Amino acid sequence: MTMSDATRPAINAQTSAPLSGPTDADRDELRRHGILLTSIQELANWGRSNSVWPLQFGLACCAIEMIAASMARFDIARFGSEVFRPSPRQADLLIVSGTVTKKMAPQVIRLWNQMPEPKYCIAMGACAISGGPFKQGYNVLKGIDRFIPVDVYIPGCPPRPEALLNGLIELQKNIRGRHIAGPAPVEADSPTAPGEYPVPAFGERDLEPTSNPKLWQPPVIVRPDKP
């Protein structure tokens, strides 16, 4: 497969913000000498990463595995994340658990807009990442990352609850590497409503627009012709 990397824009730029502080190795070294090195940023990141409250928001099959992850066998509470808040105002994490249909997409984006910063998004399962098995459907959104930024993708159909926990651990690592000022402002499309993502309207045949072009620029695929 040849893919012109030059045309691929930086998607999810905010996830790769490097931590401009001491590295983990430095910190371990200091800790060994009895010095607990910390800073406001680290403290905040520690607090945020250990208290990720997900939005109680299930879409489809994966939602059941999400619920299962919060149940006794897997117990997401061990990570401090069992507080599934039903209101987006109190949630930190949007787990897009299942197929996002075109009819549902505006609602998901609205929920995301209603969540306070800092907020994170996990695309759980094939359908949330790319439309998955249902991507050939006329009413299925081909990946939630067309409209909102996704921090962690968990493939699987559905992913095991352990895989969700694994994704959560990845997210916690990601949060610990962030700057306190929040993610890089790739969003903020409209100057009148900063931080809000445009909500698509229902069109006659499709959502309008079909993606958020500021956020989503798909790379170009170039395949050699089939023999």
Residues 31-60 touching other proteins, rule: CB under 8 A, are 43-44, 46-51, 56-60
Shortest reach from residue 24's CB to other proteins, in Å: 17
**Applying CB under 8 A, does 2 fall inside the site for other proteins?**
yes
Contact 91, 115 (CB under 8 A): yes
Q: What is the chain's length?
A: 227
Contact track, other proteins, 188-227, x by CB under 8 A: --------------xxxxxx--xx------xxxxxxx-xx
Amino acid at 77: A
Alpha-carbon distances, residue 75 vs 13, 65, 186 (angstroms): 32, 12, 34
Q: How far apart are CA 186 and CA 169, in angstroms?
A: 24
**Applying CB under 8 A, does 186 fall inside the site for other proteins?**
no
Contact 51, 82 (CB under 8 A): no
Shortest reach from residue 26's CB to other proteins, in Å: 22
Contact track, other proteins, 65-104, x by CB under 8 A: x-xx--xxxxx-xxxx-x--xxxxxx-x-----xx-xxxx
Interface with other proteins in residues 117-146 (CB under 8 A): 117-118, 126-127, 129-140, 142-143, 145
**Applying CB under 8 A, does 150 fall inside the site for other proteins?**
yes
Shortest reach from residue 134's CB to other proteins, in Å: 4
Give 18's contacts (C-beta < 8 A, 6+ positions apart): 177
Stretch that binds other proteins, among 22-30, 31-39, 164-172, 184-192 (CB under 8 A): 164-172
Nearest to 55 by CA among 80, 83, 75, 79: 83
Q: How far apart are CA 212 and CA 9, in angstroms?
A: 14
